[in-house]
Amino acid sequence: MQQSKYMKWFAVAATIGMALILLGGALVTKTDSGMGCGRNWPDCNGSLIPTHITPEILIEFSHRVVTGSVSILIFILSFWSWRKLGHVREVKFLSFLALFFLIAQALIGAAQVLWGQGDFILALHFGISLISFAAVFLLTLIIFEVDQKFNANNVHIGGVLKWNTIGVTIYSYLVVYTGALVRHTNSSLICPDWPLCRNDQMVLPGNFYEWVQMGHRLAAGLIFIWVLIITIHVIKHYKKQPVLYWSWIIALIIVCCQVIAGMGVVLTRLNIVVALLHTLFISLLFGLLCYMIMLISRSSHQAKK
């Protein structure tokens, strides 16, 4: 049954809103605006609405407003999906994930403002938000009935593709964490060159910050190679299953954009637009990989019938 256009537009708004939360959080970190409102939450420097506006206050307060507004959207979308599409196998689980991890990331953000946290804990903040984004993204695809349009319920996924998809999805989360750790440890520009830390020196990283930066580059390079190998396998063996064929081609395009944006972050000395694109691309890649995990679940379910 076709879903109402209102539900579809609402789902699109919630998905875009979650993307804005991810980008807003990255912007807060990249501009060192986390303490723009001081050690105050949910108020800002003692006021519900700040009266003295600085760039840091504007960025931090705007991020809080967007997070609060989108939280309401996602709560409504989750309840609406549960009521109207609860018969679809994944909907209730995705609705729960979207709400649970959205609340979790908000609480971690509040805890950082009120008490402060270590870099390794803060790096989890983006990853937690990313799970909520992926859940909302998948709900949106279900609402738009993408599976029916691509006959996704009848996909047949072999063991090689199944385990590589699961593996690269889990690994992508590690890449996300290392990228967040780069930001939170202020290691973004510790290595002035690319692809090596210093292209004129073939040496190992010399300190913790260089290890964080080069560890992330290595992790990003490996995910590019892994996605490339999987895509070649899919092109060879899954041409007759368009949802898999095109999903992996898109995944390869996104991971290429991710690598280029990562290089651009270094070469442009942390240009904010390039840095936010870097965040956007990994978010889209993770969402797409989660969609393919859902296809694997459906394939396994169909095989048991």
The whole-number pLDDT of residue 16 equals 95
Q: How far apart are CA 132 and CA 129, in angstroms?
A: 5
Q: With bands split at pLDDT 50, 70 and 90, how would you rate the model's confidence at 227? A: very high
pLDDT of 74 strictly over 70: yes
Chain centroid to CA 252: how far? 16
Residues 3-13: pLDDT tens digits? Answer: 577 888 999 99
- The reply to whether 216 sits in an annotated binding site is yes
251 bridge partner residues: none
Q: How far apart are CA 205 and CA 207, in angstroms?
A: 6
The mean pLDDT of the chain is: 88
The whole-number pLDDT of residue 305 equals 57
User: What are the residue ranges spanned by the domains of the chain?
Assistant: 1-144, 151-305
pLDDT of 2 strictly over 60: no
The whole-number pLDDT of residue 113 equals 76
Among 27-31, 39-43, 282-286, 298-302, which stretch is predicted with the lowest mean pLDDT? 298-302
User: Nearest to residue 270, comparing CAs of 174, 192, 167?
Assistant: 192
The whole-number pLDDT of residue 1 equals 46
The reply to whether 60 belongs to the active site is yes
pLDDT above 70 as % of the chain: 93
Q: How far apart are CA 105 and CA 122, in angstroms?
A: 10
Q: In sequence order, what DSSP letters do the residues of 212-274 get, joined into one string?
A: HHHHHHHHHHHHHHHHHHHHHHHHHH-TT-HHHHHHHHHHHHHHHHHHHHHHHHHHTTS-HHH
pLDDT of 86 strictly over 90: no
User: Nearest to residue 238, comparing CAs of 292, 291, 286?
Assistant: 292
Q: How far apart are CA 143 and CA 15, in angstroms?
A: 12
Q: With bands split at pLDDT 50, 70 and 90, how would you rate the model's confidence at 151? A: low
Q: Find the catalytic residue in 56, 60, 90, 145.
A: 60
